[in-house]
Structure 1
Amino acid sequence: MKIADRQLTRSWLVAFGTALFSLSQLGCQPIATGNRLTVASAGKISSLDPAQASTVNTIQLLSALGDPLYSLDGNGELIPRLAEASPIVSPDGLTVTIPLRRDVLFHDGTRFDAEAMAFSLRRFLEIGTLSYVVGGRIRSVEVAADHQLVLRLSRPSTSLEGLLTSVNLTPVSPTAYAQHRDGFLHDRFVGTGPYRLTDFSEHQQRLEPFEQYWGEPPANPGLDLITLSNSTALYGALRSGEVDVLLSPSIDEDQRHALHEKAQEGQLLEAIGPATEIGYITLLSNVSPLKDPLLRQALALSINRQEISERVSYGLRRPLRSLVPPSISGARSSSWPAHDPTAARALLNAAGFCSGQPLRIPLTFRSNVPADKLLALTWQAQVKRDLSDCLVLELDGVESTTIYRQLGEGAFKAVMLDWRGSYPDPEAYLTPLLSCSSPQGDVCLEGEASISGSFWSTKGLQETLNRSDRLRGAERNRELQRIETITAKGAAYIPVWLEAPRAWSQTSLEQPRFDGSGHLLLAQLRELS
């Protein structure tokens, strides 16, 4: 995208923001009542069931209403939460014993114990829609004593400790969910967290401190979580003081940069969490023309990540050449090749393209995700500048829910997506994109690789994935690097950038903080005394 285009976009956003400013005020004024803090974001919450939760907003909310067995601190260290101590793993790696706290109550007053934890885990294993979270590792859940849980594994798993921090496995009250053992409960949540839910709609949730919480009580008298329909309304609401805290997802890049600048000037506070979200492009590898791996490799070579980072996000999203965030142990940051239009031209030319016969690829972006269109336009401009006689990207904007619904049907030749692992471990990034239960040559007939829209696999990849999850330390790192190298050569995915969650708050609050899993610590939000 040309600089002039970006300046025109900024001018339009300012004018549009002025028109919507009063709307944002009207949308927020009735919500902020009493001394509760108001936290704003974009995107509605349609289900509160942890067996179904997948959106960033829902996971963020559940992190305040429930507790996992373990959590990660800012240094990535495993901290017992509902567990009383670290998990005890048998010598063969197939049995995991977890001692549980004895002083925990659910929001309905019932007691948390091993039976309650087993109920929640079995429920997730039975009805959970996010099968990749567990990945078939847990064979059975047993109650050894009132406050001792035993997990029988189908295979040894070094990533299990990370799995036990997943918000999706937070326990729910067996009493409250007795009629929902086999089905989802969308509009209510009864957990053990520092807040209890007192009001719920898709666009507004009220959280009150749980007076019988086992841990440190919230530092604030309660929260109102709200969502507004567009980025400009959110930006205006924060700048006007109508909301106390704003979360970064779905904020336009220009406004994200403006808030970052305001924070640098001391007009706002900015919190930055661990960079755990990757932006990437999925290529359909099981049909022509991208069935040819050389053409996929050419596309990977045609993209200039550094230029995209600067043009689209002012450098706030970092260039990425890996499927696993570099901050996560075992990740490798440079498995994918750097921008090289000369090498891309050679591959395209060898495949019979160029010289008046360009390869035409439809590139689909999510029309409701602001950064996607800017990324698509920038990449299209790079290709036109560097490879106009060899490659043409034809852009098509589609609403994200439609993309997610049709992805596993092979509807998109090239599509832009993002991913944030359910827990901070390489397994939570590689398995959802690469695992395949029914590979045939370089095609995945059934498994997560087909659900993800690439339909790509290769001989021995699944076995290597399984083997890497049995290893630890340097040996595991080498195996993970091998997986990334194989995947980069297959080029069915093109990682583009890495994003860290951000939150901005009024200066009347103490500095907000994120935990090691990238959740804003809502219970620690407080006004300055």
Structure 2
Amino acid sequence: MLVRSTRMLVLGVVVAALASCTSVQHAEVPATHTDDYGTPVGTQPVREGGDLVMGLSNEPDKLDPTTSSSLYMRYVMSTICEKLYDNDPSGALVPQLATALPTVSADGLTVTIPVRTGVEFADGTPFNAAAVETSLKRHFSMEGSQRTGEMGPIKEIETVDSTHVAIHYNQPFAPITAALADRAGMIMSPAALKEKEKTFGESPVCVGPFKFVKRVANTSITVARDPLYYDAAKVHLDSITYRIMPDAKSRAQALRSGDIQAADTMSPSDVEALEKLPQLKLLQSGSFGFQGLYINLGNVDGAGKPIKPINSPIAKDPKVRQAFSLATDRQGLVRKVFNNWYEPACTPIAPRTSYATRASTTCPQFNPERSKQLLAEAGVPTPYPVTMQVMNVKDQLDYAQALRDSVAQGGFDLKIVPAEYSGMLDAQKKGSYETLLLGWSGRIDPDGNTSRFLTTGSSGNYSGINSPVLDDLLGWAAHSTSAAQRGALYEQAVRVIQRENPYIYTYRLRNLTVHSTWVTGIEVYADGAVRLGKAAYVADRKG
């Protein structure tokens, strides 16, 4: 604690110095499109039964909420694996398998969660507080877990009684409810975990409107209605098939033909034409997340392992990374590549959220001349070559090529290496990359967009950054219960991030989902997950 306190005493001096050398900046551009999250079925008449096919833009990793790092896994799991909490369309946190928001002790060290009664997992195992304890402990302590850092400095997890679980902390941890509204809050059948601890993701068993049926690698994932679900009266479809369709043009054509009834992540180049078709409806929302470029500073033996130096200019010299950031024309790129459907992203703090301020969402000004000056100061000959892995899909390749042209003006020679999504997730975790163009779907609490990726030792620290100052800022922001203090700390953290640039934030997408008008009840929120669990075909559908 003495070391941490000493560091905090000098943070004001460090931040002031950082602010004095910050480039001229401008705020992120506000969205110009109108959100439509979709609406629940409610009381409208619908047809019972039917099979729905969704075109899924990428193959999920294993369907294990403890180890997964894929957005597409969240799509599937939203139908078969409910969480303690969820987001609603407004971004508020609401109970799901819990019955109310947690109660927090006066000292902030004990968080007590009330959970549902009369609920069964898909295998018939009773859902209760002990089952919740089992899952939370697995998320927190299992080797290879991607959830540990998201859950904070936990001292102990215990079952208080059959309907209450308590999480005891070494320090207060304000983001825990938001973390439990994502994979850390997904509760798995303890019987299934006991039977197949290491292979749970191959046939997951949870509480949800649907249950897992089968997976055909690189082809599809099928789920079927679960008759044991506690809210079964609100489930209408017989089954959902997630068809793996990485090509956006193929998804668009399948929607037009009726071969699929829904598709995520539609390309801005297709969406304007699709939304004009009477048989299709566009859902769209802003995003808590961001897209950008990981730069490998020290991830040699794998994320979360001890950081080791990498002897390349972009890895060891912040000036080179700052030069890359200044050579990235964020506004011009989203205009050219995405026709302004997306917006520039400059920091991990999402605009229009509780902790967003002008200072925490500002962008470095596009300045290729200053970029070349920084490269000269770093003693780097130009054009300086940088290798970037990028998903082998058209929108991503188009962006990568436009980014290559942009940074070339600042003295960089960007070499593009197309890769499959699963391979990029592996490279991200193993550290087998120089730079990697890959995004994050975002979380409602800024801790979920920062600490996981930027804290020393975190299993999600894919860039291998090691900044004691940033560790302290993010740690104190998570432990503070004052919204104003948290916002101020995130402003300071952003200044450190924009000095070190372990990740170059580039743009913030809109979640663009299209579905057939024969289907209702599909919803998509700013957390990026498409919700199909309580969708249905409209009552007058024929055939």
TM-score scaled to structure 1, two decimals?
A: 0.82
Percent identical = 22
Q: 1:37 aligns with which of 37, 52, 72?
A: 52
Aligned residues of 1:269 and 1:504 also touching (Cα < 8 A): yes
After superposition, the C-alpha distances for 1:85-129 in whole angstroms (9 at most, x for unaligned) are 120111111111111111211112222111111122122233252
How many pairs does the alignment contain? 472
Counterpart contact for 1:208–1:222, Cα < 8 Å: yes
Q: Is the Cα–Cα contact under 8 Å of residues 68 and 166 in structure 1 kept in the other structure?
A: yes
**C-alpha separation in 1, matches of 2:227 and 2:432:** 50
Q: Shift of residue 519 of structure 1?
A: 2.1
Give the structure 1 partner of residue 418 of structure 2. 397
The alignment status of 1:95 with 2:110, answered yes or no, reads: yes
SS in structure 2 of the partner of residue 193 of structure 1: coil
Q: Is the Cα–Cα contact under 8 Å of residues 51 and 184 in structure 1 kept in the other structure?
A: no
* Contact 1:260 1:270 (C-alpha < 8 Å) held by counterparts: no
Instruction: Give the 3 Å change call, closer, same or farther, for CA 197–154 of structure 1 in structure 2.
Output: same
**Aligned equivalents of 2:365, 2:255: Cα separation in 1:** 38
Give secondary structure in 2 for the equivalent of 1:122.
helix
Q: Distance in 2 between matches of 1:59 and 1:360?
A: 38
Distance 1:308 1:369 in 2: 17
- Cα distance change on mapping 1:401 and 1:241 into 2, 3 Å: closer
Q: Look up the equivalent residue of 2:259 and give its one-letter code.
A: E
Residues 39 and 245 in structure 1, CA contact (< 8 A), matched pair in contact too:
yes
Higher relative contact order (CA 8 A, sep 6+): 2
Distance, in Å, in 1 between the alignment partners of 2:202 and 2:415 is 41
The aligned counterpart of 2:386 is 362
Q: Secondary structure at the match of 1:176?
A: helix
Deviation at 1:505, TM superposition (A): 0.9
- Within-5 A mapping of 1:322-361: 322-332=347-357, 334-352=361-379, 357-361=381-385
Summarize deviations over 1:164-203 as a string: whole Å, max 9, x none: 111343112222332234x231332221111122343333
- Equivalence for 1:428: 448
Q: In structure 2, what is the Cα distance between the partners aligned to 1:38 and 1:376?
A: 31
Report the equivalent of 1:70.
85
CA–CA distance in structure 1, aligned partners of residues 414 and 237 of structure 2: 50
Partner amino acid, structure 1, of 2:346: R
Is the aligned partner of 1:222 residue 2:257?
no
Residues 472-526 of structure 1 show CA distances to partners (whole Å, capped at 9, x for unaligned) of 2111101011101111012232100011322111222236322453322212322
The residue type paired with residue 517 of structure 2 is: T
Partner of 1:339, secondary structure, is coil
1:209 maps to which of 209, 221, 225: 225
Q: Note if contact 2:150-2:448 (Cα within 8 Å) is conserved in structure 1.
A: no
Task: Tell me the CA shift for residue 51 of structure 1.
Answer: 1.8
Q: Are 1:376 and 2:376 counterparts?
A: no
1:380-400 CA-to-partner distances (Å, cap 9, x unmatched) read: 22244x34xx44333333444
The root-mean-square deviation of aligned C-alpha atoms, in Å, is: 2.5
Aligned-residue offset at 1:210 = 2.3
Q: Which moved more, 1:102-111 or 1:469-478?
A: 102-111
Q: For residues 164 and 415 of structure 2, what CA distance do their matches in structure 1 show?
A: 57
Contact 1:67 1:167 in 2 (8 A): no
CA deviation after TM superposition for structure 1 residue 163, in Å? 0.9
1:490 is aligned to 500
CA offsets 1:208-258 (integer angstroms, 9 cap, x no match): 32233223522434322222353333232211111111111xx5x4xx422
Change (3 A) 1:162 1:106: same
Contact 1:275 1:498 in 2 (8 A): yes
Taking structure 2 as the reference length, the TM-score comes to 0.80
Check if 1:175 corresponds to 2:230: no
Q: Identify the residue that residue 258 of structure 2 maps to in structure 1.
A: 241
Q: Which amino acid aligns with 1:341?
A: P
Partner of 2:166: 150
Q: 1:116-515 counterparts in 2 under 5 A?
A: 116-127=131-142, 129-181=145-197, 183-202=198-217, 203-215=219-231, 217-228=234-245, 230-248=247-265, 253=267, 256-264=268-276, 266-285=278-297, 286-290=310-314, 291-332=316-357, 334-352=361-379, 357-384=381-408, 386-387=409-410, 390-407=411-428, 411-421=432-442, 423-437=443-457, 447-448=458-459, 451-453=461-463, 455-471=464-480, 472-510=482-520, 512-515=522-525
Kept in 1: contact 2:386–2:412 (CA 8 A): no
CA distance in 1 between counterparts of 2:370 and 2:153 reads 42
SS of equivalent to 1:418? coil
* Alpha-carbon spacing, 1:413–1:368, altered in 2? closer, same or farther (3 Å): same
Which residue does the alignment assign to 1:442? none
- Taking a change above 3 Å as real, the CA distance of residues 185 and 275 of structure 1, as seen in their structure-2 partners, is same
Structure 2 Cα separation of the partners of residues 198 and 397 of structure 1: 32
Q: Are 2:343 and 2:508, in contact at CA under 8 Å, matched by a contact in 1?
A: yes
